[in-house]
Amino acid sequence: MNKVTAVILDWAGTTVDFGSFAPTQIFVEAFRQAFGVAITLEEARVPMGLGKWQHIEALGKLPSVAARWREALGRDMTSADIDAIYAAFMPLQIAKVVDFAASIDGVNDVVAALRLQGIKIGSCSGYPRAVMEALAPAAAHHGYTPDYWVATDDLAAGGRPGPWMALQNVIALGVDSVTHCVKVDDALPGIAEGRNAGMWTVGLAVSGNEFGATPQEYQRMSAQEVATRRQRAADKLLSAGAHYVVDTLTDLPAVIDQINQRLARGERP
C-alpha cells in the first residue's frame, strides 16, 4: 500500500499539555531547588524536545544561563551539576505530569479517525520512562492511548534529534516503510528526529512549545498576536526541516491526504 500507514506523535504540546508547560515549569523549579539559580520559562523552552538530562546540559550552555550560573557559583556547570538538577527534576516532573495529561481538544477524535483509515498510532517523548509510566495511564484515563510508546532513555543509542525512537516505533508497529510514516511534533529536535528517520514531518505551530501559551491565553490573544506568534513558530519548525506546519493535531488528517497523493505520484520525504 503506497500510503501513510503510521503516525508517530510527540506527547507534551502535541497530544497532551497545550503549550507544553509540564516540563518547562519543572526545569525552572529544579534549577532553583538544586542550586538557587534562576532561569526563565522562555529559557527553559529553548532546548525542548531533547531528553531531559540533555535538556539541562543545553540550558547550562545558554549564554544567559551560563553567566548567571558563574555569577552564583563561580564556575561553569559540570556533569555532576547536571546530575544533581536531574535528580531534583525527576520527582517534581513525575508528580506534576499527571496534571497535564488531558488530551488537547480534538486529539482523541483525530486518533479515532486515523485508526478508521487503518493508520497505526505510535509515539515517543523527550520524557524518561519513569515520567512516561505516570503520564501514559493518566492520558489513557482522558481517552488517549497510542498503540505504542517509547521513552527517551529506553534505547542505548539515545534520544532526539537522532532517529532511534521513531525507528523503534517502526519496528514495534510492524510498519513496512519509513516513507509511509508521519512524525508529528511541536519542538525542533522532534522534527529533526523524523527527518533523520526518513519520515514525513509535520510541525505544530500553535499547540506546542514554540507558541508557548495556555489554551486560555491563546483564546484571549488578538488576531495580530496569534498571527505573529504562529508565524514565528512556523518559521522555526520549517527551518528544522518540517515538510508541513499546521496549528494543532486537528489539522493532521488533511495533511495525510496530501501526503497520500504525493506517495501515489512516487514522491518520498
Catalytic residue positions, numbered: 10, 52
In contact, 3 and 200? CB cutoff 8 Å: no
- Compute the distance between CA of residue 34 and CA of residue 86 in angstroms, rounded to an integer: 9
- Compute the distance between CA of residue 268 and CA of residue 178 in angstroms, rounded to an integer: 10
Angle at 166 between CA 162 and CA 169, to 5 degrees: 150
Centroid of chain to Cα 172? 20
Question: Distance of CA 115 to CAs 112, 142, 153, Å?
Answer: 5, 18, 28
- Compute the distance between CA of residue 45 and CA of residue 129 in angstroms, rounded to an integer: 21
Cβ atoms within 10 Å of 225's Cβ, excluding its own: 13
Main-chain phi, psi angles of 72, to 5 degrees: -80, -40
Q: Which residues contact 189 (CB under 8 A, 6 or more apart)?
A: 47, 48, 49, 50, 126, 160, 161, 240
Q: Which residues contact 227 (CB under 8 A, 6 or more apart)?
A: none
